[in-house]
Amino acid sequence: MWPLRRGCVLRWLGPRSCRRTTVLVAFLWFALWALLNSLLFMHRTIFSDFCTDDRSKRILQRLCGEYQQGILTGDLCEDLCVNRMLEYKRCLYYEKGKKVMEAKWHGMPVVLKSKLENFSSYEGFGPLEYQDASELSSMDVVFYATLEIKNSLGLEVRNATGPRLWSQELHQRSQPYSRAEIASLWALLQQEEYIFFKALQDFSQHVVKVLGSCGHFYAVEHLVAGHAWNQNLFSLEDLLGPPDEVVDGWVGGHGHKAERDMVNRIALSFLDMVSHFENDFSHHLHLCDIKPENFAIRKDLTVVAIDVDMAFFEPKMQDILEQNCTHDDDCNFFDCVSKCDLKRNKCGSKRVNSNLQVICDKIFRRWFSPTLLGAGAELPLQVELQHAVQECVETASGEDTERSGAIWRRLLSVLTQLLEDGSAQKTGRGDTQGHPHSALNF
Ligand SMILES: Nc1ncnc2c1ncn2[C@@H]1O[C@H](COP(=O)(O)OP(=O)(O)OP(=O)(O)O)[C@@H](O)[C@H]1O
Ligand SMILES: *[C@@H]1O[C@H](CO)[C@@H](O)[C@H](O)[C@H]1NC(C)=O
Ligand SMILES: *[C@@H]1O[C@H](CO)[C@@H](O)[C@H](O)[C@H]1NC(C)=O
Ligand SMILES: *[C@@H]1O[C@H](CO)[C@@H](O)[C@H](O)[C@H]1NC(C)=O
């Protein structure tokens, strides 16, 4: 009885059609199985060289091998190679040798990065090739390191600015550097991104924190990175933490409102970042590749730049923009644009758009468009916000600091009001429900 019923699921179609259907189903089943298998095989062969656990683990094994041989070192090597307190979790990104992995460090998620997978692919430290490490004074090392930092950032490394603290860190050494230390430092200094993060560490909450390094790999805090396909650009669920941390009623009843509230807070942090990058360093910092993927959000909802390949301080920006041109289009460098001076056939060295303008265009417009806002879109403040964003997108505010300041303040004011309105309503309700939003630690 049982095998028969199992053999013929479509019994009601009649005995003959039943047999034919069974054969057909079996055939389709087999075809699907074969297709999936071949796809899986293709996927494995194509991507075996890319972001796989196997490959990542082999890279880390090589790193630890070289640590044990005394070729490289770093403050994380002991945890990675001896105590196993730094554990590989998964591969996030691999392309042209650039490796990004997720790991756990003392139970905390971190991201391990290196521009090239092999230590030997980095250039050696020149002076080490013709003299012994013990003959090199720390002063020499610091001198070369400072030169490298200065070149990379395109800045004068003045006493008053960023890299000073870092060079002091290098300075505070009584014994000379070992060969492994110098080699590791040198590999790290060949990664512009590392220099950038490290130099701005103590000055900016909008730059990802570097936690340590081993050889050519360095660890940064793990954050919630943006994705263009996400409706809110950043996964708000990940920021809220696991569901059991969320008090009942927070996600349920006030879900949409809570999300809008978080988006507004993140937008405020974007504004803070804009003014910080404009005013708080000795030179204006330009972001020429603005997209959700290049930013991430901390648990406290601060916006952090995680990909700074296209971030330049003013002097370097001017060098990049000053090109020969016959047309304004020749003067576009990703999100940084200037105008073509047709008399000289040269692009202006001053950027004509601004970080704020591009953020309004590529991020705020996605958040604050009528379609995404849904039911709340006609509220007066939301309409005001849409207008403010539109004005921001349309105004080439690069050089006109007064104009761009006004736009910035208008956005700040609307967003602040929106948040105040939201929290006034919520505390009213929250009192009866036992503060449902305390889970967010605002
Ligand atoms: N601190 C971080 N926290 C969480 N995820 C991160 C972090 N840093 C990087 N990632 C993830 O790893 C991916 C790749 O990192 P990264 O941005 O450094 O590479 P990339 O610089 O974008 O490469 P490319 O320069 O070719 O665009 C990112 O898209 C992001 O999803
Ligand atoms: C890194 O080193 C390994 C082993 O020495 C080698 O097989 C691999 O091709 C190297 N990768 C690169 C990008 O040089
Ligand atoms: C930087 O500071 C050091 C000591 O703090 C001083 O000797 C040096 O002259 C300063 N350099 C500049 C360029 O001001
Ligand atoms: C730009 O133009 C000048 C003179 O018109 C020329 O000498 C120079 O080589 C050009 N530079 C580039 C990069 O084309």
Q: Is the CB of 309 under 6 A from ligand 1?
A: yes
Report how far residue 353's alpha carbon sits from residue 284's, in angstroms, rounded to the nearest whole number.
13
CB 64 within 8 A of CB 83: no
As a whole number of angstroms, the distance between CA 337 and CA 288 comes to 9
Q: Is 190 in the pocket of ligand 2 (CB under 6 A)?
A: no
357-411 per-position pLDDT tens digit: 999 999 999 999 877 666 677 789 999 999 999 999 998 877 778 899 999 999 9
Nearest ligand atom owner, CA of 99: 1
Verify whether ligand 2 is closer than 6 Å to residue 98 (CB atom). Answer: no
DSSP letter, residue 111: E
Nearest to 64 by CA among 47, 91, 88: 88
- Give 251's pLDDT tier (boundaries 50, 70, 90): very low
184: pLDDT strictly greater than 90: yes
Distance CA 357, CA 351 (A): 12
State the chain's mean pLDDT as an integer: 84
- Tell me, using a 6 A CB cutoff, whether residue 293 lines ligand 1: yes
Is 200 close to ligand 1, i.e. is its CB under 6 Å away?
no
Measured distance CA(192)–CA(154) in Å, rounded: 11
Q: How far is the CA of 308 from the centre of ligand 1 (A)?
A: 10
Q: Atom 8 of ligand 2 has which residue's CA nearest to it? A: 118
Please tell me the distance between residue 151's alpha carbon and the centre of ligand 4 in angstroms.
24
Q: Are the beta carbons of 60 and 89 closer than 8 angstroms?
A: no
Number of residues assigned to the chain:
442
pLDDT of 159 above 50 = no
Q: CB burial class (10 A; 0-12, 13-18, 19+) of residue 97? A: exposed
* Residue located nearest, by CA, to atom 11 of ligand 2: 118
Q: Which ligand sits nearest to residue 289's alpha carbon?
A: 1
Ligand 1 lined by 306 (C-beta under 6 Å): yes
Nearest CA to ligand 2 atom 7: 118
Q: How far is the CA of 72 from the centre of ligand 2 (A)?
A: 17
Cβ pair 75, 213 in contact under 8 A: yes
Which ligand is closest to the CA of 326, given by its number?
Answer: 4
Looking at residue 146, its pLDDT comes to 79
Read off the pLDDT of residues 89-143 as tens digits, 9 standing for 90 and up.
999 999 988 999 999 999 999 999 999 999 999 998 877 777 776 677 777 777 7
The domain spans of the chain are 51-222, 225-440
In whole angstroms, what is the distance from residue 442 CA to residue 435 CA?
Answer: 12
Q: Is 91 in the pocket of ligand 1 (CB under 6 A)?
A: no
Residues paired with 347 in a beta bridge = 340
Nearest CA to ligand 2 atom 5: 118
Question: What pLDDT band is residue 73 in, cutting at 50, 70 and 90?
Answer: very high
